[in-house]
Amino acid sequence: MDISKKQTAILQKFGPYIERFDARSFVYIFLLSLVILVGLYALIQQILEGHVVTGMRDNVVWGLYIVNFIFFIGISYGGAILAGFLHLFKVPWRRPIMRIAVLTAFISALIGPIFIILCIGRFDRLHYLFIHARLQSPIFWDVVAISTYLVGAIIFMYLLMIKDFAIYRDSDVLNLPTWRRNLYRALALNYQGTESQNRQLSVSKNLIALIMIPMVVVVSSVLSWIFGMTLRPGWHSTIFGPYFVLAAIYSGAAVIVIMMWIFRRSYKLEDYLTDKHFAYMGYILLALGAGYGYFTFSEYLTSWFGSEKWDSEVMEKLFNPDEYGWWFLISNVFSIVIPIVVVAFKKLRTPNLITLSALLLVFGMWIKRYLIVVPTLETPLLPIQDTRPEYIHYSATWVEWALSFAGLATFILFFIIMAKLVTIVTVSDYAEKKN
């Protein structure tokens, strides 16, 4: 197929990054693999000893694993819905961001559900969820929703890559080994750039973008309903559905900003990921941050003012500096105040500061997920006499931390590997504009 001059220039720019693994990549991969290996050792300990090696007990039955699950799956939903909107509305500045957005959606969707499996005491019985499925159970809804979503995320990512695969296959600029060319040939599905093929692909991409947006809203809401439909203080809330959807898009957008900054810096992509791209993503963060702040205020104001007995106990824990007070404050400052302030003032609206605020935002959102899960479980509805303190107060063990960092390392590792297989900027998009 024909490759334009602009596309050739992009391939020449990205050639060194995707043709081979350089020494720096190997060092990163080695270090990340070490972290993953420690996680695997922790996993073996957990399989051999059981969940007693974690901090989870009879009362606090969810801990870091569920926190990480919500965190990663939220990032994935955010990446997918942003990519869906950017594609569907043909946003002019989307081209260098789309690939990062769909990769974020795909990789996070692979890692998030693994934490569910880690949290299940007997994950060898995971298939029971399907063979003994009960449609009435929100847990079953979530399993079906995530499985369906994962398939959608893979299709979405693949559809946005087919044209690029054809370009890599036919490019003379790239010096690729035979197996790579064969791989791209197979993945390109004999795409030759004919009018009919373009039409088929275009319809497919519109269809998947169209379905991903409502699907993300539904699956994110389903996740929130696992909490919202439980009669527990801090969870039983009617706004948990939209609250989770917004938080997911917010954290996903922040991770996209961070990945944009990393690739801009390491691949020297200042011509592609310009300051304007960061500013536009900053505006999205600002709007989402304001909405997220509003939901947060509304959620805690009603609980606090209502002073219902059990709600008050959780509120007390969240506001008390001796319990979760500082973390609650940090979470809200990092995830609401700082991103809004940074983007609102023109002088602060630089790629570096927007990325820094996005980084703090992501950290704040992780804390927020912890504050949703743990304090509620530490507030049992039934008074328990003579119970051991560790059954009421959750404290994550090294096993949980090791597996959490292994999850983060896997996310980065997969991004490094994917960035070696495909260009981080969608090459084919530039030809479309020219035409």
194 binds other proteins (CB under 8 A): yes
- Closer by beta carbon to other proteins, 183 or else 218: 218
Q: Considering CB under 8 A, how many residues would be counted as binding other proteins? A: 28
Burial of 19 (0-12, 13-18, 19+ CB in 10 A): middle
Identify which of 391, 379, 366 has the alpha carbon closest to the alpha carbon of residue 234. 379
Residue 152, number of CB atoms within 10 A of its CB: 20
Which range touches other proteins (CB under 8 A), out of 27-35, 104-112, 194-202, 359-367?
194-202
395 binds other proteins (CB under 8 A): no
- Closer by beta carbon to other proteins, 223 or else 353: 223
- Distance, CA of 78 to CA of 70 (rounded, Å): 12
Which range touches other proteins (CB under 8 A), out of 91-99, 189-197, 394-402, 426-434?
189-197
User: Which residues, in sequence order, are CB contacts of 105 under 8 Å at separation 6+?
Assistant: 76, 77, 78, 79, 80, 83, 153, 156, 157, 252
Residues 284-313 that bind other proteins (CB under 8 A): none
We find the least distance from the C-beta atom of residue 175 to other proteins, in angstroms, to be: 25
Binds other proteins (CB under 8 A): choice among 71, 191, 250, 263: 191
- Closer by beta carbon to other proteins, 12 or else 230: 230
Which range touches other proteins (CB under 8 A), out of 15-23, 193-201, 321-329, 373-381?
193-201
With left for phi above 0 and alpha for psi between -120 and 50, is residue 90 left, alpha or beta?
left
Q: What one-letter code names the amino acid at 214?
A: P
Report DSSP letters for 323-372, one per residue. Answer: TTHHHHHHHHIIIIIHHHHHHHSGGG-SHHHHHHHHHHHHHHHHHHHHHH
- Closer by beta carbon to other proteins, 117 or else 210: 210
- Closer by beta carbon to other proteins, 34 or else 203: 203
User: Which residues, in sequence order, are CB contacts of 53 under 8 Å at separation 6+?
Assistant: 42, 45, 46, 397, 399
**Buried b / exposed e along 381-410 (16+ C-beta atoms within 10 A):** eeeeeeeeeeebebebbebbebbbbbbbbb
Residues 106-165 that bind other proteins (CB under 8 A): 134-137, 144, 148, 151-152, 155, 159, 162
- Closer by beta carbon to other proteins, 221 or else 376: 221
256 binds other proteins (CB under 8 A): no
Residues 195-224 that bind other proteins (CB under 8 A): 196-197, 200-201, 203-204, 207-208, 210-211, 215, 218
List residues binding other proteins (CB under 8 A): 134-137, 144, 148, 151-152, 155, 159, 162, 189-192, 194, 196-197, 200-201, 203-204, 207-208, 210-211, 215, 218
